[in-house]
A and B are shown apart, each in its own frame.
Chain A
Amino acid sequence: MKTGDVIQFSTRALSGYPTRTFLIILAMAIGVASVILLTALGEGARRYVSNEFTSLGTYLLIVLPGRSETTGGPPPLLGQTPRDLTLEDALSLTRHSAIRRVAPITVGSAPVSWKHRDREVTVLGSTDALFEIRHLSMAQGKFIPAGDPTRGEAVCVIGYKLKKELFGNQSPLGQWVRIGERRFRVIGELGKKGQSLGLDMGDVAVVPVASAQTLFNTSALFRILVQANGRDAIPRAKKTILTTIRERHEGEDDVTVITQDALLSTFDRILTTMTLSVAGIAAISLSVAGILIMNVMLIAVSQRTSEVGLLKAIGAPSTQILRLFLAESAILSLIGAGFGVILAFLGTWGLARVFPKFPFTVPIWALGAAVFIAIITGLLFGVLPARRAAKLDPVDALSRR
């Protein structure tokens, strides 16, 4: 029997019982759609988190003063004051091949005033590198210019909230504001970026790092942000930072380096596991559809016993009967999977409309896997009924009407 004939024969058999066929296809479609949809949700969550991390900055390493012991051991009895991170420490890091950019950061809180309005905000002292590392954007004007970071110019960039509070709808560019005891010229306004690293970037004033150090009368840095020269360079950058700082701090390991990638990959692993387990749960619904197929095919076999007997009498070998019934299950699951894919895409489209910020995406592998599992389930659960049909004794089968 030719494949085309097998397909035609099985299709005719299926369309002979439309209600039953429709119900199985529905069950299969729901199974496949739920696998795809849940995977899309999981994948969406993964991307969402990953996007959030990328908005912190790419290939980011954060250098903190002080050693955080993670290996256990008793806490130091005598107060072990860590050495401060200095601007010179930060500048010494720029000379390595694994490191692309270094942004030293000093943080303090100071009142910012213009005319008679004033507002207490966070003041960030940094360099032009911060702009690239943190993926900042400008609403107007320019960021802190490149130049010798040890020279503190009297310029500042303000967040959009601060700008609104102090200047309303007026342009802040070129205006002189007072921060703490010093006067700074406003050269730019940051674009809206929102929260990042726990700091509301709308409500800050950014000044050159040297100016901030004078302002707060300190030589210590709050932290150093380092951008590595690509993902592969991150471990090398981390090592370089540790050895360089150790050399400068007379052999003391008194800084902690946090890599953003380590955090990200942890989240990535967690969310991938979650996606897979959710997809696994959905796959159970697929196997329910498979059992349904088995059930209905068993009914079909007993209803069509005399047909099987006849087919054997007119010369169909058992293997052919097996193939015919397997083809029916396969066609059922294939059509079911097809509708399932359509259903899933309608579902993701609908969800994306309701939650536009959440990046719903159907991963290609999930699509393939769902359809593949559907067909395998159909075939697997089709084997038992098909074998039952193939094993029917033709004499018995024909004696039944």
Chain B
Amino acid sequence: MIHLTGIEKTFLVGDETVQALSNVDFTVQKGEYVAIMGPSGSGKSTLLNIIGLLDRPDKGIYTLEDLDTTELTDNQQASVRRNKIGFVFQFFHLVPRLTASENVELPMILSDVAPASRKMRVEAALSSLGLSDRAKHRPDQLSGGQRQRVAIARATIMEPDVILADEPTGNLDRTSGIDVIRILEDLNKKGMTLIIVTHDPNLSKRATRRVQLADGKISIDSRSF
């Protein structure tokens, strides 16, 4: 489903060019559970951003469900992000002035979903994550685990094919971290492709496929069944 061939990405840091990704070939099948690992600076976040269409590769071809994404305009890419990709971030990125349910509603507002069905879907999503009583709370009134669960509800409200999680437990204590991972794994069992960037080995052990990046290249790609 996700198909990257010959992906290159360089950054300019000061006068130096840093090769974030060099000639990466990477394929993910539908429904896979992938953990991307590697030391900081190894290019794992860049890889995730390219898969999530937040970043464009300098070279190479990226096809998502047979769609060549490098050819798409900004509007078309945005539409792909809206409908096919869900992001979960380390720092949650909830809009601070909006309540939990309004944050979850945002992607549907961008996609022109009718208000009546918006409300119903938000309620359903929040209650399935055990957040019904927190719907009217603003992010600063929620615990870290609750915030990440709101963020997951937001990422999945449009029923995307892929969930991209960048260090989703990096800012959480152990128990709420495990909670969040279980929720993500449940979604994976229901058929959503899950790609997690982490440098926590305990987390990566849970995934069915582990990809190790070093210096912008894939060094290890192993599967466990």
Chain A interface (Cβ < 8 Å from any Cβ of B): 1-2, 5, 9, 12-13, 16, 306-307, 309-320, 394-395, 398, 401
Contact = CB atoms under 8 A, between A and B. Distances in A.
Interface of B: 49, 52, 54-55, 74-75, 77-83, 85, 87, 89, 91, 93, 95-98, 102, 106-107, 109-112, 154-155, 158
Contacts of A312: 54, 78, 81
Nearest to B84: A315
Contact of B89 (A5, A13, A398): A398
A313 B52 contact: yes
Nearest to B157: A314
Contact of A2 (B52, B77, B112): B112
Contacts of B55: 394-395
Given A2-B112, A315-B107, A310 B95 contact: yes
Nearest to B83: A315
19 contacts: A1-B112, A16-B96, A16-B97, A306-B93, A311-B106, A311-B110, A312-B81, A313-B52, A313-B54, A313-B81, A313-B89, A314-B155, A315-B79, A315-B85, A315-B110, A317-B74, A394-B54, A395-B55, A401-B91
Nearest to B52: A313
A312 B96 CA distance: 16
Contacts of B95: 307, 310
B93 A316 contact: no
B96 to A, nearest CB: 8
Contacts of A309: 93
Contacts of A5: 109
Nearest to A318: B74
Contacts, number: 72
A128 to B, nearest CB: 77
A317 B75 contact: yes
A401 B91 CA distance: 8
Nearest to A306: B93
A315 B81 contact: yes
A395 B50 CA distance: 10
Contacts of B87: 313-314
Contacts of B74: 317-319
A315 B82 contact: yes
B192 to A, nearest CB: 16
Q: Which 5 pairs, one residue from A and one from B, show the smallest C-beta to C-beta distance?
A: A315-B82, A317-B78, A16-B97, A315-B81, A310-B93
User: Which of B78, B82, B89, B98 gathers most chain A CB within 10 Å?
Assistant: B78
